[in-house]
Amino acid sequence: MKNLEAIEKRRTFGIIAHPDAGKTTLTEKLLLFGGAIQTAGAVKNNKIKKTATSDFMEIEKQRGISVATSVMAFEYGGKQINILDTPGHKDFAEDTYRTLTAVDSVILVIDCANGVETQTEKLMEVCRMRNTPVIIFVNKMDREGKDAFSLLDEIEEKLGINVRPLTWPIGIGDRFKGVYNIYDKSLNLFSANKTKKAEDVVSISDLDDPMLEELVTETFANELREELDIVEGVYDAFDREKYLSGDVAPVFFGSAVNNFGVQELLDTFIRISPSPRGRETDARFIEPSDNKFSGFVFKIHANLDPKHRDRIAFLRVVSGVFERNKFYHHVRLDKNFKFPNPTSFMAQDKSVIEEAYPGDVVGLYDTGNFKIGDTLTEGENMMFKGIPSFSPEIFMELENLDPMKSKQLDKGIHQLTDEGVAQMFIMQPGNRKIVGTVGQLQFEVINYRLINEYGANCRFAPKNFFKACWITTDNEEQLGSFLRAKSNYVAKDKDDNLVFLAETPFLLQMAEQDYPDITFHKTSEFKLEKA
């Protein structure tokens, strides 16, 4: 019974957005309303010199972008809220993709001036693949931008999802007066307030109430009534089941930097969003209510605290109860481990916990036993599905500039590629390290961290490869022929799997034709099948 209550109490969601849409600012304001922080500094305000709570890596503070997923937990309205703040930059889409495997719903932030951007569409595709429930927050309403109806049309057209406004803006930019909460029938009047919570909420259940004119003027009152008539005429009534199945996205309007419209979002979110959901394994579907513990690692981060060379695996609890100091079965290694210091997170602040329930994200100190996608159970041999690595798109060779620091470089690149932001392939002769990523910025981050966290002086030299494909076959003769013919383009990944580094799409196509019994895998999902 205690387990079921704990499951129902939890809400685990990710915040996703195109860069600069205000995602990290919204995260900070949710923490403010949740009482997890007392005042919020504007993220990029140089006078305050205060970085967002969720951006803790030094390079993130310098660049003003999020490049690693942060986990934050707090209680609000009787619910345990677990937020996973994701990188917005397209070069880190793979980290975001894996994070979305660990959440039960998503808040998508859209800039009212820029509307739906390319990265927004890609992130939404991932949500659609999993039928993840999505709430949309249209941000920066205190700046000039597209009108609300145009934005809603654009969201439906570009993201392929039906929308239903649950709040409505009164004006925009310099004319922005506030938002009307359609769901709760209350009015929140706008006042620019970057550091404290907005308290100015007036309950107006009847839009014909003359008090509306007094608060926002007759012009805005009439405009609001007309627009809400259109909303009720055009959009179906909100149906929670359609939201939970991923068919309808509720929409909220506001200004995160001014704490505006955020409370309406949070209050409604805890009422309509899903409690923790089950996950598919290669053996069966695991329900959160299953008595036996199970969970999977979706992220690994080295040097979360630079003062202690620690490495933490982020584990999403799927079923049962995770308990401190209890032995659990590491399925891939077929070994049992116990964890004396499991932690919960408030960005970089960590606290040891005794137990965790489905929906919770637990940090496990790791000495190198975990890889992304690993499963922990109470003994059952099964692996959670759907956490693949993708074929990289940019390749560079790692060059050591200080032979005296070879060990540090080797340790650093192994740990950083274990985090999943890049992949490493070893080519012979010479054990040459080829690093592959899906974006250029990742090389900057890796280079910066190798120098600053590991003291390894190095550089990256571009390599002209088009795609890395894992290769498998039962035809040993054909494999031998392939390896002889393509020896200069074959490497091994860190698990000793063979990888073909094709220079062009044409050469990959020719290889697939010439060696029909060899399968060229574009993602690492095949490892699960092989296991």
pLDDT in tens, 161-170: 999 999 999 8
| Beta-strand pair 285-286/279-280 | antiparallel
List Cα–Cα distances, 91 to 246, 442, 443, 445, in angstroms. Answer: 26, 7, 10, 11
Residue 52 predicted with pLDDT over 70: no
Q: Which domains does the chain have, with CATH numbers?
A: 2-272 (3.40.50.300), 279-377 (3.40.50.300), 394-530 (3.30.70.3280)
User: Distance between CA atoms of 137 and 158, rounded to whole angstroms?
Assistant: 16
User: Distance between CA atoms of 445 and 70, rounded to whole angstroms?
Assistant: 16
pLDDT band at 418 (very low <50, low <70, confident <90, very high): confident
Least confident window among 44-48, 247-251, 464-468, 481-485:
44-48
* Percent of the chain scoring above 90 in pLDDT: 41
Neighbours of 249 (CB within 10 A): 23
The residue among 165, 185, 173, 183 whose CA lies nearest residue 227 is: 165
pLDDT of residue 165: 96
Q: Is the dihedral of CA 32, 197, 6, 16 positive or negative?
A: negative
- On whether the CB atoms of residues 288 and 277 are closer than 8 A, the answer is yes
Q: Which of 28-32, 200-204, 232-236, 308-312 has the highest mean pLDDT?
A: 232-236
- pTM value > 0.95: no
Give the chain's end-to-end CA distance (angstroms, integer).
36
Chain mean pLDDT for the chain: 82
pLDDT of residue 304: 52
User: Distance between CA atoms of 497 and 521, rounded to whole angstroms?
Assistant: 11
- On whether the CB atoms of residues 189 and 178 are closer than 8 A, the answer is yes
- Location of structure tokens 């894996």: 98
- Location of structure tokens 């560079």: 396
Least confident window among 30-39, 250-259, 383-392:
30-39
pLDDT of residue 256: 87
Q: Is the dihedral of CA 346, 352, 356, 361 positive or negative?
A: positive
* Helix-, strand-, coil-residue percentages of the chain, each rounded to 5: 30, 30, 40
pLDDT of residue 156: 94
pLDDT band at 476 (very low <50, low <70, confident <90, very high): very high
Strand partners, 398: 460
pLDDT band at 43 (very low <50, low <70, confident <90, very high): very low
Residue 66 predicted with pLDDT over 50: no
Residue 367 predicted with pLDDT over 90: no
pLDDT band at 226 (very low <50, low <70, confident <90, very high): very high
- The better pLDDT of the pair 19, 241 is held by 241
Residue 21 predicted with pLDDT over 90: no
pLDDT digits (tens, 9 = 90+) for 350-363: 678 899 999 999 98
**Strand, helix or coil at 268?**
helix
The residue among 174, 321, 310, 345 whose CA lies nearest residue 255 is: 174
pLDDT band at 36 (very low <50, low <70, confident <90, very high): low
- On whether the CB atoms of residues 315 and 361 are closer than 8 A, the answer is yes
Phi-psi group of 283: left, alpha or beta (phi > 0 → left; psi -120 to 50 → alpha; rest → beta):
alpha
User: Distance between CA atoms of 502 and 302, rounded to whole angstroms?
Assistant: 31
